[in-house]
Structure 1
Amino acid sequence: MSKAIGDSKLLEKRIPRSAKWSNVRGRVDTGASMSKHLAKVEDIQANFRIQRGELFKRLKLSTFAALVLEVDKVNMMNESEENEAPVQDDIVERVETTPRQPNFLDVIRGTGELNLKEQNENLKLPPKPKLPKEHTPYSSTPYLLVDVRDSDAFQQCHIITAESYPHTNFSRTMNPFSNQMLQFKNLEGHIIVLYDTDELIATECATTMAQRGFENVFVLSGGLRVLAQKLPNGLVTGSLPAEAFMSLDGKTKLRSGKTKYNPKNKVPADMALKRFTHEHLGALSEALDELLMAPSDAGSRLSKSKIDTRSRSRASLMTTTSNSNIKPWK
C-alpha cells in the first residue's frame, strides 16, 4: 500500500510553453479575473515607470490615437468650409496687388517714385508655390506634442506633429521652456504631452514643468516602447529605434509586439511632414480598432458591442460636428 501507481506529482508539473504561440490570446472575454489582473500588473512593471506622488498626469496611447483622429477630422471640416467661399479672398488679393497711385503729398515728399518702384518690384515677384497639405501644420490643435529626446533621435524617428525640444533645455536657468509651451501653459481645453523612448526622461521633464506651474502637462504612457508593441503603424515617421524593442533594463528583447526591429530597414524621418496623411490615418484607425477589440485591453466587462459603438461614434464624428460648432476635444 505504500507504493502508489504512477507519478504522485503529475498534477504539479507545468505544461511547457512555446515562444511561437506566446502571443495567442482567447477571443472570449469572461470578465474580470485574477489572471487578467496579474497580466496587467506585469505589463505595468515591464513597460511603465509609474511612481507614487507623480505631479503630472498620464495619457494612454489609445486615448492619444483617438484624439489624433478627431483633430484631423475637425480640421478637414474647417478647411472644407473655408474653401467654399473663395470669391471674397480673391477680391482682397486683387485690392492688395493693385498699385496705388501717388497722391500730391507723396510728390511733395519725394516718395511717389519710390513707392511706384517698390510696387513694380513686388508685382514682378513670382507667386509663392503652394505647399502640399501634409507639409502644412493643422490650423488648430488642442495638444502640443513634445519630443524630449536628442535632436538626432528625433530626426531618425518621431511621432507626427511632434516638436523637438531636447531634455537638456529644461535644466537651463533662463528660458527653460519654448514659446509654444508658454502659450499652451494652463490654457483651457489644451494640453502638453511629453514623450520619449521609455519614460525615463519624459517623467523628469514633466515633473520640472509641474513644479513650475504647468497644470496641463501629460506624459504619453510607455513612450515609443509601448507604441512599438501596440500601435506601430500610423503614428510615427521614420524607423523606430532599437531601444523601443528592448525591456526597461536594456538587456532582453520584448517577446510581445506586432513589429520587430530590423536594422537594415532604417529610414530617416520625413522632416517636412507636419500632419497625418490618409495612409497614416487609415492604418492608425485599423490598429486602434484592433487594439480596442483585444480582450487584454478591454477592461473588466467591456463587450464587443460597446467597442463597436465607439468605432461608430468616431465614424459619425464628421456629421455630428458639421451641425454644430462644438469641437470634440473641448
Structure 2
Amino acid sequence: MSLKQGIGSAEYLVKRVPKNVKYQHIKSKLDTGCSLTKYMEKVEYMKSNYRYKKDEIFKRLKVTTFAQLILQVASVSEHNLSLSECELNTPEDALSVASEELESLTVRSAERQDARDIHTARSTLLSVINGTGELSVEQSPDPESSLDSDRPYPDCPYLLLDVRHRDQYDSCHIISAHSFPATFLHRTMNPYTKEVLEYKNAPGKIIIVYDEDEHIASQAATIMCQRGFENLFMLSGGLKVLSQKFPGSLVSGPLPPVCVSSSDSVRGRRVSPPSGHTRAEQRWRFTADELNHLTVQLEEVLLPSNNSSRMSSRISSVSSQSARSRQSSSSCSSRPWR
C-alpha cells in the first residue's frame, strides 16, 4: 500500500511574489556575479539609449572618455596659465616689461598724434567715396583676441558640434559646444563653418558631434565621414546618456523631456519636464565648481567597473603582507639567541 500524498500544494512552487511598482527601482547592493537578469537589463539599456548599426563608418566616443578629456584640457590650460603668470611675476622680467612699456608708450603717443592728423583727412575722403563713416584705428577689433574667444580653451584639441536645430541648441546644449545644424550639410555652397575647416583632419585634433539620442548625429557623422573627415567622432548616447552619467555638470540650460524622463526613471524619480522656453547660457569654459563636481561623478561612475580589480589588488597586498610577516618571523626564529 503506497501513500501518494504530498505536503502542501504544488501551486505554491509556481506562484510568484507580486511586484510593487513603488519599490521597483530599489536593487540589492550585494553583487552576486553574472546572471541572466543582469544581461537582459544591459541589453534593454543598450537598446533604449544607443542606436548601434553594423555598417557604421564613424567612430564612437564614450561619455566617460569625453569627461576625462574635458578635465585634462582644463588642467593643462590652467597649468599653462599659472606658468605664464609666474614668468611675468619675476622681478627682472617685471622691470624689463615696465621699461619696455614706458618706451613704447612714449613712441606710440608721438606716432598716434601724427597719424591722427593724416588719418582724419584721409578717412573723411574715403568715407565720402565709399559711402561709409569714419573708421577709428584705436577701436578696431583685434583678430587674434576674437579668434581665441571663439574657442573654449587656447589650442583646444577637440571641437564639439551640436547638430540639432538652432532653437534646440539655444534652449539646452553642452558647455563649449558650437551650433552646427545637420541641415548645413545639404548646402551646395559653404556647408562648413570656419571652425570645422580648421579642425578637419588637423593633427592632434578631433571633431565630436552629438544630439539627444543619436538619431541626427549618426546621419551627420556618416555624411561627414563620407566627405573625407577622418578625425570625426560621435558622442555615444548623446545628451540622453550624458544626463544619466553626469547630471548637472556639463549641460547648460534645462534638459529636453526625453533626457529628463530617461535619467529620472533610472533613479525612480518623477520630474515634470521644464515648462516654457528658456535660453541657455552660452559659455566656452567650465567653472571650477563644475570641474570638481565632474571629477567626483567620474570617480563614482568608474568605481563599479574597477571593484573586482581593486578587491583582487587588496587581496594580493594583504597576502603579500602576510607572507612578509611570516618570512620575518621565521628569520627571527632561526636566528640564535644571544
The more displaced of 172-181 and 235-244 is 172-181
Post-superposition shift, 1:29?
4.6
1:65-89 deviation line (CA, Å, top 9, x unaligned) = 1111111111111111222234466
Counterpart amino acid of residue 113 in structure 1: D
Name the structure with the higher helix share: 2
Structure 2 unpaired stretches of 5+: 89-93, 123-134, 314-338
Post-superposition shift, 1:43?
1.1
1:324 aligns with none
For 1:203 and 1:258, how far apart are their aligned partners in 2?
A: 30
Secondary structure of the 2:159 match is: strand
For 2:41 and 2:187, how far apart are their aligned partners in 1?
A: 41
1:164 aligns with 179
1:263 aligns with 274
2:190 aligns with 175
For 2:62 and 2:154, how far apart are their aligned partners in 1?
A: 24
Which structure would you say has the larger RCO, counting Cα contacts within 8 Å and 6 or more residues apart? 1
Alpha carbons of structure 1 residues 117 and 10: separation in structure 2 relative to 1, 3 Å: farther
For 1:80 and 1:261, how far apart are their aligned partners in 2?
A: 44
Structure 1 unpaired stretches of 5+: 248-252, 307-330
2:13 aligns with 11
Contact 1:29 1:301 in 2 (8 A): no
Moved over 6 A (4+): 121-125
2:299 aligns with 289
The more displaced of 35-44 and 208-217 is 35-44
Counterpart amino acid of residue 263 in structure 1: P
For 1:83 and 1:43, how far apart are their aligned partners in 2?
A: 48
For 1:161 and 1:94, how far apart are their aligned partners in 2?
A: 40
Post-superposition shift, 1:159?
0.4
2:289 aligns with 279
For 1:89 and 1:12, how far apart are their aligned partners in 2?
A: 86
Post-superposition shift, 1:136?
7.6
For 1:37 and 1:89, how far apart are their aligned partners in 2?
A: 65
Work out whether 1:95 is the aligned partner of 2:104: yes
Post-superposition shift, 1:32?
4.5
Contact 1:56 1:210 in 2 (8 A): yes
Give the one of 20, 38, 41 matched to 1:39: 41
Percentage of pairs with the same residue:
37
For 1:159 and 1:263, how far apart are their aligned partners in 2?
A: 17
The alignment of Structure 1 onto Structure 2 pairs a total of residues equal to 286
Aligned-pair Cα RMSD in Å? 3.8
Structure 2 length as normaliser, TM-score?
0.71
Point out the structure with max Rg over C-alpha: 2
Alpha carbons of structure 1 residues 290 and 93: separation in structure 2 relative to 1, 3 Å: farther
1:211 aligns with 226
Contact 2:254 2:274 in 1 (8 A): no
Counterpart amino acid of residue 64 in structure 2: S
For 1:135 and 1:176, how far apart are their aligned partners in 2?
A: 19
Alpha carbons of structure 1 residues 239 and 113: separation in structure 2 relative to 1, 3 Å: same
For 2:268 and 2:247, how far apart are their aligned partners in 1?
A: 7
The more displaced of 255-264 and 190-199 is 255-264
Alpha carbons of structure 1 residues 116 and 186: separation in structure 2 relative to 1, 3 Å: same
Alpha carbons of structure 1 residues 92 and 209: separation in structure 2 relative to 1, 3 Å: farther
For 1:258 and 1:291, how far apart are their aligned partners in 2?
A: 18
